[in-house]
């Protein structure tokens, strides 16, 4: 697949098969993704990966926190509000999810809680003293990881739910206190039979998004 085909076909996978991702494949994906540009070549990212029993233990600890009503406290807080247009897109997104199965919205929540049954999660972190531009760099790295993964036949989803309890991740993965745990990217092989994976988010068309002047 070329880049255009990958961009047009990649989508977030919310139900993975149990098959594990081998270390060589994971290493190759990260090796390609680390070609991502960054401000002043600061390469502000630090990467931690959990799989197998380690990931199961992390998931168990998250589920216990949820059961005990322990409030989530991601290092990067959720937005307090959204502009009207963004609110509308979120509404459309959830309306789309609700169409794929009976109780799809409940299923969506459950799959998030179960880390989408992913065999591995890549956590992207950066030093807390870095500025907003480094967040831009981590966003670019995320997309590189997802595109390189897709080229290797792997599915992914970036999910804030995966980093809702950073203290659990710090304990299990030895992530230092001075790193913000920014995002988790679940990675593995898509369960193509699962109804949730039928869902495809819509996109605003170019003509609505881009204002172009001086180019015929």
Ligand X SMILES: Cc1cc2nc3c(=O)[nH]c(=O)nc-3n(C[C@H](O)[C@H](O)[C@H](O)COP(=O)(O)O)c2cc1C
- How many residues line the site for ligand X (CB under 6 A)? 12
Q: Which residues, in sequence order, are CB contacts of 154 under 8 Å at separation 6+?
A: 21, 25, 29, 187, 188, 189
Identified binder of ligand X from the candidate list 122, 149, 159, 175, rule CB under 6 A = 159
CA atoms within 13 A on the CB side of 69: 0
Of residues 161, 144, 164, 187, the one with CA closest to residue 13: 187
Per CB under 6 A, the list member of 175, 183, 186, 196 interacting with ligand X is: 183
Q: How far is the CB of 116 from ligand X (least distance, A)?
A: 8
* DSSP letter string, 3-24: HHHHHHH--B-SSB-SPPPPHH
Q: Scanning residues 114 to 143, which ones bind ligand X (CB under 6 A)?
A: none
Under rule CB under 6 A, residue 6 binds ligand X = no
**161 near ligand X, judged by CB under 6 A:** yes
Does 89 engage in binding with ligand X (CB under 6 A)? no
Q: Are 195 and 101 in contact (CB under 8 A)?
A: yes
Q: Measured in whole angstroms, how far is the alpha carbon of residue 134 from the centre of its chain?
A: 17
**Measured from the CB atom, is 159 or 175 closer to ligand X?**
159
Per CB under 6 A, does 93 bind ligand X?
Answer: yes
Minimum distance, C-beta of residue 78 to ligand X, in the bound complex (Å): 10
Chain positions contacting ligand X, by CB under 6 A: 11-12, 14, 93, 112, 157-161, 183, 201
């Amino acid at each position: 697949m070329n880049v255009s085909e990958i961009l047009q076909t990649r989508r977030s996978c919310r139900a993975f098969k149990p098959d594990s991702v081998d270390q060589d494949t994971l290493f190759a994906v990260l090796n390609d993704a680390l070609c991502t540009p960054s401000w002043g070549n600061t390469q502000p990212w630090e990467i931690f990966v959990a799989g197998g029993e380690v990931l199961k233990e992390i998931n168990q600890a998250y589920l216990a926190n949820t059961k005990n009503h322990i409030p989530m406290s991601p290092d990067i807080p959720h937005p307090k509000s959204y502009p009207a247009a963004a609110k509308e897109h979120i509404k459309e997104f959830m309306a789309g999810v609700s169409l794929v199965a009976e109780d799809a919205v409940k299923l969506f929540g459950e799959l998030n809680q179960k880390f989408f049954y992913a065999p591995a999660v890549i956590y992207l972190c950066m030093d807390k003293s870095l500025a907003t531009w480094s967040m831009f760099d981590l966003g670019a790295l995320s997309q590189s990881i997802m595109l390189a993964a897709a080229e290797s036949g792997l599915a992914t989803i970036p999910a804030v739910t995966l980093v809702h309890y950073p203290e659990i991740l710090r304990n299990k993965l030895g992530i230092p206190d001075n790193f913000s745990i920014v995002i988790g990217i679940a990675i593995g092989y898509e369960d193509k039979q699962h109804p949730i994976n039928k869902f495809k988010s819509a996109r605003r068309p170019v003509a609505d998004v881009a204002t172009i002047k001086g180019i015929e």
